[in-house]
Structures are given as C-alpha cells and as structure tokens.
A and B are shown apart, each in its own frame.
Chain A
C-alpha cells in the first residue's frame, strides 16, 4: 500500500518541484528581425514578458524616431545624457551606419536602485538603441525584468520591473 502511494505521489511531487525551473526558460528567437518576417518575430518578442529585449517598430523614419524619442524622454522628466553611434569608440565614425544609442536617466531611480543592489549597474544608465534594417526603424532596449527575476532580491526585482514598464511606456510614446 505504502509503495503504491510512493509510486503515485513521488512523480507528482517531482513534477511540481520542477515546474518553476521550466517556467524560467521562455524562449524567443534570436534571429529576431534579420530575416523577412520582421513583424511576426518582433511581435513574438513583444508577446513574451520574459523576453530579454523590448522592441517596438517605429512608423517614422530614423531621424524623426530619434527626435520623438528625445521628446518622450523629456516628457517623462528623464534627463538625456548623450546620443552616440553604436560603433562609437570602436571604429572611425561611419555615416553609412545609423545604429544609435540614446542614453538617459532618472536620477532618483538610479539612486534608489544602486542603494538597493550595486549589481543594477548592468542596466544603467537607461539606454534605447534605434536600429534601421531593410528600411524599417526599430527601438530596442534590454528588458531588466527576466534578469531581475534571477537576482533573488525582491526590491531589486521590483525596480527591474519598474524599468521594464518605463521602457515600454517610453517606446510607446516615441512611436505614437
């Protein structure tokens, strides 16, 4: 009798214990938008809360998108720190490549985050990359949420979620 209970309960218990481990590994496609099915894959990325990146396609051209992003940053009372090409500091300035990183900051949030856990520096200052591919313009940011979940620090997890939400709102503002 006891043996039968073991046979039934143990696999069930094992499954329950393993469930959270697999919940961590939501997969997305890395080849996100290198291929033609840009929109489908971008949407796939957006639909995943555990996705490592947040991506929004802009309906505007590259320059207008950057202007809109700057306005959105100011509109949310963030401080624009600098705008630079992705390759700046690595190679000579290349006007043919446009990938641009916009750095900005909410000092109150940064202050609070650093005091909570110094490791948050991985996400500071906040940055959004504007990327053009096949004539389409994308706004991209890292998603601190899944990484914050790894930290095992409730307050920091909350800050990471806050940053993720802020990125989503900001990218939405910039692409309206």
Chain B
C-alpha cells in the first residue's frame, strides 16, 4: 500500500506541462484601445520598453481575410537584450518577449508563453534568475489584466 501511494505521488508530481501552465492567459471586459494601453502601461511599470506592436489583424485584412483585432506587443529591457545577443545567442530567437492582445466578441484577451517553459525546454540552468523574473513579471501583467476596466 505504501508503495502504491508513493508511486501515485511520483506520478502526480512529475505530471507533464499542460497548455494551461505553458501559456498565461486572462481576459477583461474593456474596449480594445484601453486594454492595449493597460498592457503596455503594466509592462512599462515593470521596467520594460515596448519595441513594437505588430498589427496582425491589419495584415490579414489587407489580404482579404476577416479578423478581429489581434496584435502582438514586443517588449524587453535594452541591457538584457544585449546580454542575450552577446552571451546567450541560442536564446536570440525568443527575444524580444511578447504578449498577444486579441479581441473576442464579448471580451479582450491576453496570452503569453511563460518564459519558464522556454527555460525548461533548454534544459540548462542559465540565466535562471532572469527567466524567473520574466516569468513573474508576465504572470503579474496577465493577472492584473483581469482588472483592466477598473
């Protein structure tokens, strides 16, 4: 019986990453411009610089596809981008970090990959504190987004 319980415990604690853990998402009842502004303000408050907002929906519309507003906010900290570029080039494809802000019929949603998942995929303990910080910051932004209309 003890063995059975131990086995079950190991099984539960080593469960693979689920989509809910890999991606951070939340939603808010708000107008799109306010929601977008909220996300950018939250990022700036945490010391990030917005490098660009990619209007995916505009590109789709220009090609004749119907699309609700779907935009990707790219952000980062200049010194960290430089560290990655010069010392951890294998991480370059994941930077700048980004958050997607999208419009649904009854709400605005945000979605971002948890940087800790990227960290785990690399399987090496490098920049651990940075990854933890990015993860905490993005989690905080996504969590705060629930109250974007307040």
Contacts and interface: CB of A to CB of B under 8 A. Distances in A.
B25 A119 contact: yes
B67 to A, nearest CB: 7
A117 to B, nearest CB: 9
A90 B76 CA distance: 8
A124 B102 CA distance: 13
Interface residues of B, number: 61
Q: Chain B: interface secondary structure? A: mixed
A81 B59 contact: yes
Nearest to B49: A90
Nearest to B24: A119
Nearest to B1: A6
Contacts, number: 173
B111 A122 contact: yes
A18 B85 contact: no
B85 A99 contact: yes
Interface string A3-31: 00011001101100110110011111111
B91 A121 contact: no
A32 B122 CA distance: 10
A140 interface: yes
Given A27-B123, A89-B74, A142-B93, A34 B88 contact: yes
Given A122-B98, A125-B59, A111 B111 contact: no
A105 interface: yes
A52 B88 CA distance: 14
A10 B7 contact: yes
Would you call the interface of chain A mostly helix, strand, loop, or mixed? Answer: mixed
Interface in B1-59: 3-4, 7, 10-11, 14-19, 21-23, 25, 49-52, 54, 56, 59
B100 A118 contact: yes
B124 interface: yes
The 7 closest A-B pairs by CB, nearest first: A89-B51, A27-B123, A121-B100, A32-B90, A30-B124, A52-B121, A90-B78
7 contacts: A18-B10, A31-B90, A31-B126, A86-B81, A97-B85, A125-B72, A151-B22
Interface of A: 6-7, 10-11, 13-14, 17-18, 20-21, 24-34, 45, 50-53, 55, 79, 81, 86-91, 97, 99, 103, 105, 107, 110-111, 114, 118-119, 121-122, 124-125, 127, 129, 131, 133, 138, 140-142, 146-147, 150-153
